[in-house]
Chains A and B, each alone.
Chain A
Amino acid sequence: MLRTPPDVDNGDYIGKYYSSPGGSFVANRQRSYRNLVGSSTNPGFNNPLWVINSLQNKSVVNRFINATEINIKPVNWFTLTTRAGLDYFTDRQTNYFPYYTANATTGQYNREEYSEFQFNLDVIGRANYDFSNKLSGNIVVGFNYNSLKTTTLGGRSLNFILPDGPQDFNNATPANISTVDRYLNRLTNAGYTSIGLSWDDQLFLNATGRLEAASTFGQNAPKSFFYPSTDIAWQFTKLKAFENASWLSFGKIRASVGIVGVQPNAYQTFTNYTARTWGDGLGGALDPALYGTGSYVQNDDKGNAFLKPERKQEFEFGADLRFLNNKLSFGFSVYQNETKDALLSVTQAPSTGFNTTYSNAGTIQNKGIELDLGYNLIQKKDLTVDLTLNWTKNKNLVTFLNGAGSITLGGSAGVSSRAVEGYPLGILFSNSFLKDASGKVTLNANGFPTVNPTAAPIGDPNPDWRAAFGFNIKYKQFYLNALMEHSQGGQVINGTEAVLLDYGTSAATGFERTSTTNLKRYNGTTITAGTPFRGNIQDFGAGNVALDQSWYTGPGGWFGNVGEQFLEDATWTRFREINIGYNLTNNFLKQKLGLQSIGIELSGRNLFLISKVKGYDPDSNVSGSSSGRGVIYFVNPPTRSFLFTLKLTF
């Protein structure tokens, strides 16, 4: 919608196209801003109404979940537990793009059936023993087996024979039908042990170990990996000295150290051959399957026989304290973790023969602190009011990338979010204006800056700190709670604004200017004094110049790739959530209807947002849920939602 100028009516999105008055017509042509009377079969970009009304995307999911648990307790101190779980689902998806859709002007129909089968088995033996009346211990020994199998079967047909024919592959010639046929099989098993000791109900010590083997490890990597962890906690307020200390009602300090692992993706250990299609930059593609007798070539992703799990070593120390009869609570944690052998698809120099290799390449460090504060403002028989506040700060650094230079996590050609050695994860990477040694922008003969063709880190999308404030009010059976959140600092690249500048639909270009002096345009021509033009006047350092179409469709807009112009402060404050509800319990419900309670709740999520940026949510992101962040480009805003919930408890 943003791609359409405000004075174009998108209302009629479909219609008959007459090439001349009284001539014959073509039915059901798409009408869009770039195809105002439907004269072309190709609308450029789809009309939003066409997307809503003419395209079809269906997904039907069937799911079956089953879990059983058997407990055997042969003697008082020992339990044997067997837990088995089964999760099976199928997802049938179809997409239908009728004639005259952008990028499918003669129709496209996709259908894919995906099924996933997961089986999980745990056999756990647990023994307890009291060594004395103060010291007790337990030991757990377990075995885990996990199997995942998926299949995908589907196809795609292009160039419909009958434009309005049925949604069926056969409505296309054989050369225009392709199939999807994929399997995945992954197996993990592990043995684990945990030993726990407690002394006098105040000192607790736990140690666990997990030895894991997975089918996804490389053939030249060790067969199994061991993950130990230990934690210790001391509830020191149980000491005699604190027995009568009413100011401190509860106190615990805790520390833990441990290693957890993430196993690699399946099928990354060998270099494959693929029936590749040769895509053209910003254009179409050539598919060798449509030539000769079909063809396979070696993939550009390099298999890795040394794949092993990524390991995260974490150290955490913290305390939980409650004061004044539990009215005030305070907790803090400091942590430091380091992910070693991080699994990343590492960029390769294409001249080596590969584009990427999935490998244990990175070391990523996080250091942080978390503070929690809670205060019980009112505590009466019918009324309680609690306030909570928390504050977190995390510092992230990619310390090692094994010569990979930089790894793109998300974004586009001009601006991307990357992992770069020596910078925080997700650093914004783009081009900038050429600068001289002193950092001053160098200008061309016309007084305009020029683009440095080589990209570099330009901004950090990670916030300095985050905080949340909430309250919880309960009056008899009513309750009301709310949560506000704040994120301080960080940067975001506003790609949407950059494109709108290019299209000339941004408000920033909506001015008619007249200069009293002659002004150079970016393309070198001159706007003479007194001649009105649309755009802006700016002085980059060599006198006023005209920023008009020539500038905004060049370096001044999205396609100039100078991301640093569009960096904005990503600080935001939002009203995340509010819930108001009422719980009803009484004897009538219990006896007559067999109901324990009836709960009614009204909730609102994401109700308002305060930020320095205009027209978008700085927390949204073009790369979705990947680790890439901080790039905005026609992103759907997070939804605001209102919910009504009725809860019946039997």
Chain B
Amino acid sequence: MKKYLYILLIAATTIVSCSKMVEGINVDPNNPLDADPNSMLTSVMVGNMNIQEGDLARFAGMWSGYYRGYTQQYLSYHQYSVIARNFDDAWRRIYSGDYKNIQILKEKARAINNRRLLGVAQVIEANLMGTATALWGDIPYSQASNEKYTNPVFDAQATVYANLQTTLDSAIVNLNSSAFVNFSAQDIHFAGVMSKWIQTANTLKARYFLHTKDYAKALTFAQSGINTQANNFMAPHNATNRSVSNLYFQFLSLDRPNWIDATGMYGVSLINPTGTRYRGNSKTVERARWSFFYNSATNVNFTINDFFGQTTFFPMASYAENLLILAEADARINGVAAGLIRLNNYRAYMNTGAYINTTYLTAGNFRYDPYVATDFSAGGIENAGTPALAQDRALLREIMEERYITFIGQIEGFNDLRRTFKETDIRVPVTLNFGTQYPQRFIYPQVEIDVNSSIPNPLPTTFDPTPINR
């Protein structure tokens, strides 16, 4: 009976319903289904800027003694108290935001044989994923953003670094190619100037060899790295609109005023001329640099012309960093004489004012006279403490401190602290914000824990070093 009833019902309804009528109108009229590779480039670049300059840099900065999380969520973060969920959004921006689109862009560039565009995309990828693996250790890479894998594995950190080196090698080949469709209008970093991209690729190679403590290779590639401030790999900003302003400025001034200051922080005390740990000496005056980063003993400087100011470009790889990679690597490989020349090159650059805004470059407020080897001998001005360090270690200590100051506001500062954590004689002795343990990494985000069955087990804590730093 029931069966007959259903047959009757279906027969009767089929006659009057019609699925043809509703076909083909579900294509979204508001958003396109595809975009050409040139049109994707700018967004991919801005996505990477957001990762290098945004909340990850602020976490790293609080955990590096550069500034202090003062209230609400940032007070918890400052005390190293983070939950997995705090990293969801950044992780999403990295993977489903930027990394995926870099893969699509690369594929599209390959399809039309735009080798130079492919090379640029590879440099951005290396910058993005280098930061990710430095902060999280093992990360999804070989299987990430690939439809074949629903639970991408977490590749070993050393493997990721090795892959990034290969990617950058390939990038350099592609950047040297003559096959390209012009994308200078979309290239917001270098307007299509390949020599600058090639230098950036080399500096990033050197940076990652430094991360993995392969100092010889770091030294080699830094020699082809960024060779002038004009070629710095920077995140551009201006004041025409809120969403084009420096992200630090947006956070400090517009979105979360008073959430961050610098009271009692190690970084400010090192370069504050009236601070207890002031690093100035007969050859060094830091007042200009102090004013550029901090406008008092208690706060960071985000007024106009300052590192955290509205229109200040944010460095993602710079001449300054490249000089300091050379200094550290050469000192470690070839000893005091070689390292000292490199450090003095950097000091000469600083003596021109370097990246410090000209507003602060009043004569007498900055001074970086060359050091001599005896400055690092026991009892020298850079080795006056007891017990004295060996000369080469004292030089390295000074180089690490110089790097620490140079990287104020950048993730590289946090990377250095963790890389040199076991070298207690030369590491920058940043004071703890809380408790007895230094943070050694960012923890995996809740969303990956919830959904990806390949998530490492047991989960590392904030205080577990990443594999390369163990």
Chain A residues within 8 Å of B, Cβ to Cβ: 34, 40, 42, 44, 103, 105, 139, 141-143, 145, 158-159, 173, 175-176, 181-183, 185-193, 195, 207-217, 219, 223-224, 226, 228, 230, 266-267, 269-288, 290-300, 347-355, 403-406, 413-414, 431, 444-445, 451, 453-455, 502, 523-524, 553-555, 559-561
Contacts and interface: CB of A to CB of B under 8 A. Distances in A.
Give the dominant DSSP class at B's interface: helix
B464 to A, nearest CB: 12
B250 interface: yes
B152 A195 contact: no
B423 interface: no
A297 B26 contact: no
The 7 closest A-B pairs by CB, nearest first: A284-B250, A191-B17, A209-B9, A281-B55, A191-B16, A295-B43, A353-B145
Interface string B68-94: 000111111001011111101111111
Contact of A175 (B55, B241, B247): B241
Contact of A353 (B43, B95, B443): B95
Given A195-B9, A290-B243, 13 more contacts: A141-B16, A191-B14, A193-B8, A211-B14, A278-B46, A279-B50, A281-B55, A283-B54, A286-B49, A349-B151, A523-B79, A553-B71, A555-B81
Contacts of B93: 278-279
A347 B450 contact: yes
Contacts of B152: 349, 351-352
B90 A191 contact: no
A455 B149 contact: no
Contacts of A183: 29-30
A297 B43 contact: yes
Nearest to B58: A283
Contacts of A273: 31-35
Contacts of A453: 82-84, 443, 459, 461-462
Contacts of A143: 16-17
B111 interface: no
Interface in B208-245: 236, 240-245
B54 A281 contact: yes
Contacts of A284: 242-243, 245, 247, 250-251, 254-255
Interface string B324-339: 0000000000000000
A405 B241 contact: no
A136 to B, nearest CB: 17
B363 interface: no
Given A272-B28, A283-B256, A451-B81, A173 B240 contact: yes
Given A278-B47, A524-B435, A455 B96 contact: no
B35 A297 contact: yes
B2 to A, nearest CB: 8
B124 to A, nearest CB: 12
Contacts of B244: 175, 286-287, 290-291
Nearest to B459: A454
A214 B104 CA distance: 32
A153 to B, nearest CB: 12
A352 B247 contact: no
A141 B100 CA distance: 51
A404 B5 CA distance: 39
A280 B50 contact: yes
A592 B44 CA distance: 78
B162 interface: no
Contacts of B449: 454
Max chain A Cβ within 10 angstroms of own Cβ: one of B28, B84, B185: B28
A413 B85 contact: yes
A295 B156 CA distance: 34
B446 interface: yes
B26 A215 contact: yes
B252 to A, nearest CB: 9
B19 interface: yes
Contacts of A297: 35, 40, 43-44, 47, 97, 101, 104
A298 B100 contact: yes
Given A159-B242, A283-B247, A444-B435, A195 B5 contact: yes
A293 B33 contact: no
A213 B42 contact: no
A292 B187 contact: yes
B50 A350 contact: no
Nearest to B85: A413
Interface string B440-453: 00010111111110
B140 interface: yes
B451 A347 contact: yes
Contacts of A286: 46, 49-50, 243-244, 247
Contacts of A299: 31
Contacts of A287: 46, 241, 243-244
B19 A283 contact: no
B323 to A, nearest CB: 28
B357 to A, nearest CB: 22
Interface in B391-433: none
Contact of A404 (B23, B76, B451): B451
A407 to B, nearest CB: 9
Contact of A141 (B5, B10, B12, B23): B12
Contacts of B21: 145, 187, 189, 213
Given A191-B15, A453-B83, A290 B240 contact: yes
A300 B12 contact: no
B31 A272 contact: yes
Nearest to A281: B55
B39 interface: yes
27 contacts: A42-B257, A189-B18, A191-B15, A207-B2, A207-B6, A215-B22, A223-B23, A267-B30, A280-B251, A281-B86, A283-B58, A284-B247, A286-B49, A286-B50, A290-B240, A290-B244, A297-B40, A298-B35, A300-B100, A347-B451, A349-B452, A405-B450, A454-B83, A454-B446, A455-B84, A523-B79, A554-B75
Given A355-B92, A555-B81, A292 B25 contact: no
Given A189-B21, A350-B94, A182 B459 contact: no
Given A42-B254, A192-B13, A352 B149 contact: yes
Contact of A270 (B28, B150, B243): B28
B436 interface: yes
Contacts of B43: 275-276, 278, 288, 295-297
B258 interface: yes
B13 A350 contact: no
Contacts of A348: 96, 451
Contacts of A353: 95-96, 99-100, 103, 144-147
Given A284-B251, A298-B100, A300-B97, A403 B76 contact: no
Given A193-B9, A351-B95, A351-B452, A185 B29 contact: yes
A355 B54 contact: no
B303 interface: no
B42 A175 contact: no
Contacts of B95: 350-353
A293 B46 contact: no
A553 B68 CA distance: 14
Nearest to A299: B31
Which residue of A141, A211, A553 has the most chain B CB atoms within 10 A of its CB atom?
A: A211
B134 interface: no
B39 A282 contact: no
Contact of A295 (B2, B6, B41, B90): B41
B188 interface: yes
Nearest to B40: A297
A189 B243 CA distance: 44
B262 to A, nearest CB: 18
Contacts of B50: 278-280, 286
Contacts of B42: 288, 291-295
A275 B44 CA distance: 11
A470 B452 CA distance: 51
Contacts of A349: 150-152, 447-448, 451-452
Contacts of A34: 258
